[in-house]
């Protein structure tokens, strides 16, 4: 059975390192720690301009992501960024 690599903190205690997974952002594969992110933080992590919108591609459908919601990154998620579209009132 495989174990998580351990990382030492300044206080010399060992903590498991987060598991890295691959995601695709605008057709480019990137490796990020698995976990839950606020979308705006995830955009920063993967290098998406904060002024752009981010959609998750699920079964070929584009699902818009609000910058303030949380998403869980587990494995092989796909995202595309694009200029913000105007919304009618």
* Structure tokens, 58: 């699920």
Helix, coil or strand: residue 71: strand
Say how many C-beta atoms besides its own lie within 10 A of residue 35's C-beta: 13
Q: What is the mean pLDDT of residues 8-18?
A: 62
**Tell me, what's the pLDDT at 57?**
97
pLDDT of residue 6 exceeding 90, the answer is no
The matching CATH number, chosen from 3.40.50.300, 3.10.20.90, 3.60.15.10, 3.20.10.10, for 18-83 is: 3.10.20.90
- pTM value is 0.76
Q: Which tens digits make up the pLDDT trace of 59-72?
A: 999 999 999 999 99
Closest of 87, 79, 9 to residue 48, by C-alpha: 79
In whole numbers, what is the pLDDT of the chain averaged over residues? Answer: 86
> Between the CA of residue 52 and those of 7, 44, 63, 64, what are the distances in Å?
34, 11, 14, 11
pLDDT tier at 46 (50, 70, 90 boundaries)? Answer: very high
Using alpha carbons only, what angle is made at residue 52 by residues 82 and 29, rounded to the nearest 5 degrees? 65
**Tell me, what's the pLDDT at 14?**
66
């Amino acid at each position: 059975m495989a174990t998580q690599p351990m990382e030492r903190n300044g206080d010399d205690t060992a903590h498991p390192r987060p598991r890295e997974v691959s995601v695709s952002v605008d057709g480019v594969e990137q490796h990020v720690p698995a976990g839950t992110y606020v979308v705006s933080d995830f955009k920063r992590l993967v290098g998406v301009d904060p002024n752009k919108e981010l959609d998750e591609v699920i079964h070929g459908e584009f699902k818009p992501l609000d910058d303030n919601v949380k998403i869980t990154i587990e494995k092989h998620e796909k995202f595309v960024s694009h200029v913000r579209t105007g919304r009618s009132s």
